[in-house]
């Protein structure tokens, strides 16, 4: 596994978020005995915690505020326009967790599934806010395995004119990190852990299984 902290390569960074709360929650996701209700709740909670880190660079501005005691100048968010873009299906599980912290973010959707034979991403849906090109974008997907889905989704966003894109995953394989870095060296990746490898079916090992199936109870 890749260790904690930040790894810089090209222009981008991989932020491996090793906070104990995140690691505990991720271990609950890994457990095959964790049921659909708890799995769904924890995916959302992890997204909230990751969002806290992924928005650390949001610009602020100073405003004057009168407290019950005195008047002072204090920081508020400068009102940067944000959008989150979940990759369907599993990325949907992260949306509410992000909106808890950024309720005014707009939400675009990209539908991709992995062809079970080739593992190549196949697009089946795309719907973006009209002003997506003006927004900073966080692409959401719990799993970064071969990286094919994330690389394709980020390409879509760049074709829409988006210039500032981050990728938020819960679990990654080294292969996926490498693929995203090579295709999109400008995109920072936020992830709670990087596991050892992929198996012959493109699943992350030890991983947590099929995130979409576990969030939606389809297996």
Active-site annotation, residues: 114, 118, 210, 213
Q: CB under 6 A: which stretch of 34-42, 60-68, 71-79, 83-91 binds ligand PRP? A: 83-91
Tell the smallest beta-carbon distance from residue 21 to ligand URA (Å).
Answer: 23
The side-by-side arrangement of strands in the sheet containing 143-144 is: 143-144, 171-172, 193-194
Tell the smallest beta-carbon distance from residue 200 to ligand PRP (Å).
Answer: 13
* Alpha-carbon dihedral angle through residues 189, 201, 118, 127, given to the nearest 10 degrees: -40
63 CA to centre of own chain: 31
Alpha helices in 72-187 (DSSP H): 95-101, 148-159, 174-183
C-alpha radius of gyration, the chain, whole number: 18
Site string for ligand PRP, 176-215 (x = CB under 6 A): x-------------------------x-------xxx---
Is residue 169 within the footprint of ligand PRP (CB under 6 A)? no
- Applying the rule CB under 6 A, the residues between 107 and 136 that interact with ligand PRP are 112-114, 119, 121
Tell the smallest beta-carbon distance from residue 146 to ligand PRP (Å).
Answer: 3
Q: Nearest-CA neighbor of 171 among 151, 201, 141, 213? A: 141
Instruction: Compare residues 129 and 202 and give the one whose CB is closer to ligand URA.
Output: 202
Decide which of ligand PRP, ligand URA, none touches 176; Cβ closer than 5 to 8 Å per partner kind: ligand PRP
Is residue 140 within the footprint of ligand PRP (CB under 6 A)? no
Q: CA-CA distance, 110 to 95, in Å (whole number)?
A: 13
């Amino acid at each position: 596994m890749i260790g904690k902290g930040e790894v810089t390569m090209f222009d981008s960074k991989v932020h491996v978020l090793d906070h104990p709360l995140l690691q505990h929650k991720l271990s609950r996701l890994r457990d095959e005995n964790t049921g659909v209700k708890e799995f769904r709740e924890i995916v959302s909670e992890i997204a909230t915690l990751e969002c806290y880190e992924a928005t650390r660079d949001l610009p602020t501005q100073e405003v004057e505020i009168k407290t019950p005691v005195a008047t002072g100048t204090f920081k508020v968010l400068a009102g940067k326009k944000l959008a989150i873009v979940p990759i369907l299906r599993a990325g949907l599980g992260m949306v509410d967790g992000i909106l808890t912290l950024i309720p005014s973010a707009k939400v675009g959707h990209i539908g991709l599934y992995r062809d079970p034979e080739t593992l190549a991403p196949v697009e089946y849906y795309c719907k973006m806010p009209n002003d997506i090109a003006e927004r900073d974008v966080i692409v959401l997907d719990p799993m970064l395995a071969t990286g094919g889905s994330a690389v394709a989704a980020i390409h879509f966003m760049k074709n829409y004119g988006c210039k500032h894109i981050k990728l938020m995953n819960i679990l990654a394989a080294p292969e996926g990190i490498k693929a995203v870095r090579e295709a999109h060296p400008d995109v920072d990746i936020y992830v709670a852990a990087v596991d050892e490898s992929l198996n012959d079916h493109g699943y992350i090992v030890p991983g947590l299984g099929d995130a979409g199936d576990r969030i939606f109870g389809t297996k």
